[in-house]
Structure formats: structure tokens, C-alpha cells
Amino acid sequence: MTVPNTPPDPLRAAEGTDADAAAPGPAAGPNPYAPPPVDQAVLRAADRRAPLERLLPELKVGAVTVLACLALGLVMAVLWAWLAPKVPLVVDGNKILYGDPEGEQRAGADSVFVLIGLGMGLVTALGAFLFTRRRGGGIAVAIGLATGGLLASVGAWGLGRRLGPASDLVAEARRVGNGGHFDADIDLGAYGALLAWPMAAMVLLLALSAAFGKREEDPPPYWAGPYGVQRPVDGLPGGSFHPAPAGERPAGEQPADRPYPADQPYPADRPPQDRTP
């Protein structure tokens, strides 16, 4: 006699002497709880599309940021050509002399360019942060600000020189004649001024992201129970906790057993592992 729940002997089943193993059982049908079959080709295609789908929004944000910087670069060129101090020149016979030999107009042009670049960097960084704060910013915003700020500074430098006084000093001297006065063209003596815009944008973006950027939700504490919200029991030492009342629990997370009253934090039927020391 075979003991109940004894697994069949494979040797006896092979010899045909195990009646339980030789007896035909019910035919195994499809499992109704099994997940539906998945086409592996569809999964592979989705895996190939996933990086591109994540990259396209970042490229759009970066491109919009660069275009906005280039548009403000036109404004910067106009402001620099208008506000930069001009170098006065005077024609003396066949010579062109400085009208103010001890003047610092050249250094002033660099300073004005730096100040305008700093202002543009602050404006673009603040605008990019406000428009992308909901999505959490990203590396595309930083790269767009750095690239767009540098390109806009170079463009403002070249366009500002064209909008300022003419660079052909000989032609201007002939136009005004002997003893005439005219202004020299504006230019940058320190090329490091081109980095004022991107550097200011990066610093402000970092500060805004650190202070007001989107935060990830903190994980629940290790002592949180299965019913979500818990609160400390007043008057109990050691920071003991008990589940919150039923009205404060999320819908669908009501406990199956009776609720524990606040004056009995350690009921007799509560498992020891659920008690907080």
C-alpha cells in the first residue's frame, strides 16, 4: 500500500509496476492565469525606439534654448554698438592721431560687452529654468544655455562691429578732411569677454536648480505599515506608532481586522514584529 501524497517512483513507472504513475491523469489544458504571449519582435522594436523617444524631447528643449539665445544676441549687438564708448580720432595732415591719448575707451568697450553679456546670461538662465521647471530641467537646458550663450556672444561681437563706426580709417580720414574728427570702430581687446554670457547662465541655472528645482519624492520610512499614514501616539515613550484612523487612510487600504484604539497601542492579538520598540 502506498502512503498518501508519496511521489511516484520513476523506476517503477518506467517498468510499468507503479499503478498510480501508469494511470492516465487528466489532460493538462492551458493555464487561464498565464499572461498573454508577447511578440518578441515587438519588444525588440520598442527597445530600439525607446532611446530615440527619450532623446527627441531633450533635443527640442536644447534647440529652443539655443534659438532664444541667438535672438537675444541680436539685441546684445545693438546695445553694445550703442552703449560702448567710442575712441575719438583726429586727422592731422597725413596722420591720424588719438583725440584723447590717455583715454580708456577701448577697455570701456570690453567692460560694456561683459556687463551686457552677464545680463543676458541671467535673463536666459531664469527664463529657461521657469519654462522647464515642471519637467525637471535636464542636461539639455544646460547644454543649450552654454552653447547658445557662446554663439550669441560671438554673433553679437561681429554684428556690433558692423553696426558701430566704420573700420576703414583711411576712408574716414579722407571724408572728414584735414583737422576733422571721427570715431574709430569698436572691438574687443579681451576675447575672454565672450564667456561672460555662458558662465553667468551656468552659475544662475545651478543656483536655481539647487534652491527651487524639482525634487524626487522621498521613500517611505522603514517603520511605515501597510496602511500608509501613521502617526506617533501621544504620551508613549520611545516614539511608538499606531495606524491612523480609518478616515485618514487612503481608499482601498482599510485593515481587515478591527482598528486599534489609541489608548491600546499594544493589543494582545498584535504580532510582536509589528510592534515598534
108 inside domain:
yes
In a structure prediction context, what are the per-residue pLDDT tens digits for the chain, which is 277 residues long?
A: 555 555 555 555 555 554 444 445 555 566 666 666 666 666 666 666 666 677 788 889 999 999 999 999 999 999 999 999 988 888 888 888 888 777 788 889 999 999 999 999 999 999 999 988 887 778 889 999 999 999 999 999 999 999 988 778 888 888 888 888 888 889 898 999 999 999 999 999 999 988 887 776 766 665 655 544 444 444 444 444 444 454 544 444 444 444 545 455 544 445 545 445 4
pLDDT of residue 48: 67
- 3-state SS, the chain, equals CCCCCCCCCHHHHHHCCCHHHHCCCCCCCCCCCCCCCCCHHHHHHHHHHHHHHHHHHHHHHHHHHHHHHHHHHHHHHHHHHHHCCCCEEEEECCEEEECCCCCCHHHHHHHHHHHHHHHHHHHHHHHHHHHHCCCCCCHHHHHHHHHHHHHHHHHHHHHHHHHCCCCCHHHHHHHHCCCCEEECCCCCCCHHHHHHHHHHHHHHHHHHHHHHCCCCCCCCCCCCCCCCCEEECCCCHHHCEEECCHHHCCCCCCCCCCCCCCCCCCCCCCCHHHCCC
Residue 232 lies in a domain: no
Q: Give the per-residue pLDDT at 113.
A: 96
Q: Say if 90 falls within a structural domain.
A: yes
- pLDDT value, residue 175: 83
Q: Does residue 220 sit within a domain?
A: no
User: Cβ neighbours of residue 277 under 8 Å, at least 6 residues apart?
Assistant: 238
With respect to residue 217, please indicate whether it lies within any of the assigned structural domains.
no
Task: Give the pTM.
Answer: 0.61
> What pLDDT, on a 0 to 100 scale, did the predictor assign at position 45?
64
pLDDT at 230: 47
* 185, part of any domain: yes
Residue 85 lies in a domain: yes
Domain that holds residue 186: 64-212
**Domain count of the chain?**
1
- Asked if residue 92 belongs to a domain, the reply is yes
Per-residue pLDDT at 224:
58
